[in-house]
């Protein structure tokens, strides 16, 4: 019997495709690796991302800055209440600070949680509020957008991401 493909799997594949297409437009960026969240669940108690995208940035490398960025993709299918999201966020921050994260990536730096909700902007703002309440200063590692906002744009360079605790939408990379 074959494996079951869920709606979440299809959405993740769509996001992955948009990411690959966006990165291909910029010669200094390379998608190094996609890591399915199912490979990470055993590493850390709590919540694991749906997917991790590891990218290498030649511009940062040439400036002597850490060249790798890890985007931990978290798909919100509106299947849990907004208050429970605060507990998930605490686990997300703990994972970035964990020994298992450091062992896998060689550092605890360079990780951003990207939360893509299939819900409304109102839902996204509720998740952002819960993030700020749950982790305070640590909220800056969480960036949010809606699935509708990703469609038809460059998810890396267009200003579609709202960083928890910061005003206005931003791009993940400056052009």
CA distance 144 to 152: 17
Q: What is the pLDDT of residue 88?
A: 86
Q: Tell me the whole-structure pTM to 2 decimals.
A: 0.88
Using alpha carbons, select from 114, 104, 27, 109 the residue that is nearest to residue 69.
Answer: 109
Residue 127 pLDDT: 92
135 assigned to some structural domain: yes
Residue 77 has what pLDDT? 84
* Residue 83 lies inside a defined structural domain of this protein: yes
Residue 80, classed as helix, strand or coil, is coil
Q: What is the block-wise mean pLDDT of the chain (175 residues), using blocks of 10 residues? A: 71 88 90 85 67 92 90 83 78 88 85 90 91 92 93 91 90 83
**Number of independent structural domains in the chain:** 1
Residue 74: inside a domain, yes or no? yes
Q: Indicate whether 2 belongs to any domain.
A: no
Percentage of the residues of the chain whose pLDDT score is greater than 70: 90
- 37 is a domain residue: yes
Q: Is 45 helix (H, G, I), strand (E, B) or coil?
A: coil
Domain assignment present for residue 54? The answer is yes
63 in Cβ contact with 69 (< 8 Å): no
CA distance 112 to 52: 10
- Give the pLDDT of residue 46: 65
1 assigned to some structural domain: no
In a domain, 18, yes or no: yes
Distance (Å, whole) CA 113 – CA 174: 18
For 13, the domain range is 7-170
């Amino acid at each position: 019997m074959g494996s079951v493909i869920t709606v979440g799997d299809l959405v993740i594949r769509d996001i992955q495709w948009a990411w690959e297409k966006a990165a291909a437009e910029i010669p200094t960026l390379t998608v190094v690796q996609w890591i399915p969240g199912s490979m990470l669940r055993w590493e850390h108690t709590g919540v694991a991302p749906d997917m991790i995208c590891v990218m290498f940035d030649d511009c940062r490398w040439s400036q002597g800055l850490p060249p790798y960025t890890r985007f931990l993709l978290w798909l919100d299918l509106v299947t849990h209440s907004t208050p429970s999201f605060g507990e998930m966020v605490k686990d997300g921050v703990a994972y970035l600070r964990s020994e298992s994260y450091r062992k896998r990536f060689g550092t605890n730096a360079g990780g951003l949680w990207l939360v893509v909700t299939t819900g409304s902007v109102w839902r996204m703002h509720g998740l952002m509020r819960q993030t700020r309440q749950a982790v305070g200063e640590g909220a800056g590692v969480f960036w949010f957008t809606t699935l509708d906002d990703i469609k038809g744009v460059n998810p890396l360079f267009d200003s579609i991401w709202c960083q928890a605790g910061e005003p206005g939408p931003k791009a993940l990379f400056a052009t």
